[in-house]
């Protein structure tokens, strides 16, 4: 549904694997907190080739509320043993951005493909590509 977009674009982004690998090498803990079904998350992680650099994944279907409720992010942070203030949330949708902000994390919005119009004004920063995450740390 439009409310819970599938993270295909993000996960199959050609920069995903190298950026996640670099984050992992820098000792940054990485999680995927997606509104998609668990099976889909696992399948995309496999396709993207990032299983070995991911510390945690959680599906919105495993939470009591969907984004913009921050529960999914708070649970991921708890699983990783990190404080919200230490966290960077990468999002694209307005609901996801709101969830990230409500978790007290810093939120980077990945600018959508041309022709896609998403209100990303609530994010702390808008980035043009995933490699910008490395500079934002």
Can you give the residue ranges of every domain in the chain? 8-136
Distance CA 93, CA 99 (A): 10
CATH 3.40.50.1000 at 8-136, yes or no: yes
Average pLDDT of the chain, as a whole number: 91
Residues contacting residue 67 through CB under 8 Å, at least 6 positions apart: 4, 35, 60, 93, 95, 96, 98, 99
Q: Each residue of 102-135: pLDDT tens digit? A: 999 999 999 988 888 999 999 999 999 999 999 9
pTM to 2 decimal places: 0.89
pLDDT confidence tier of residue 2, bands split at 50, 70 and 90: very low
Q: What is the pLDDT of residue 28?
A: 95
Higher per-residue pLDDT: 41 or 9: 41
| Three-state SS sequence of 39-62 | HHHHHHHHHHCCHHHCCEEEEHHH
Contact 5, 93 (CB under 8 A): yes
**Of all residues in the chain, what percent carry a pLDDT higher than 70?**
92
Q: Each residue of 44-65: pLDDT tens digit? A: 999 899 999 999 999 999 999 9
pLDDT confidence tier of residue 7, bands split at 50, 70 and 90: low
Contact 67, 105 (CB under 8 A): no
């Amino acid at each position: 549904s439009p409310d819970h977009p599938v993270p295909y674009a993000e996960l199959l982004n050609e920069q995903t694997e190298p950026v996640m690998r670099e984050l992992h090498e820098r000792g940054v803990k990485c999680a995927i907190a997606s509104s998609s079904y668990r099976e889909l998350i696992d399948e995309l992680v496999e396709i993207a080739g990032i299983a070995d650099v991911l510390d945690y994944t959680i599906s919105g279907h495993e939470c009591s509320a969907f984004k913009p409720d921050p529960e999914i992010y708070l649970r991921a942070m708890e699983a990783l043993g990190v404080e919200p203030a230490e966290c960077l949330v990468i999002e694209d949708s307005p609901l996801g951005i709101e969830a990230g902000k409500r978790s007290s994390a810093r939120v980077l919005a990945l600018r959508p493909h041309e022709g896609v119009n998403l209100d990303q004004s609530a994010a702390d920063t808008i980035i043009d590509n995933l490699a910008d995450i490395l500079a934002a740390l």
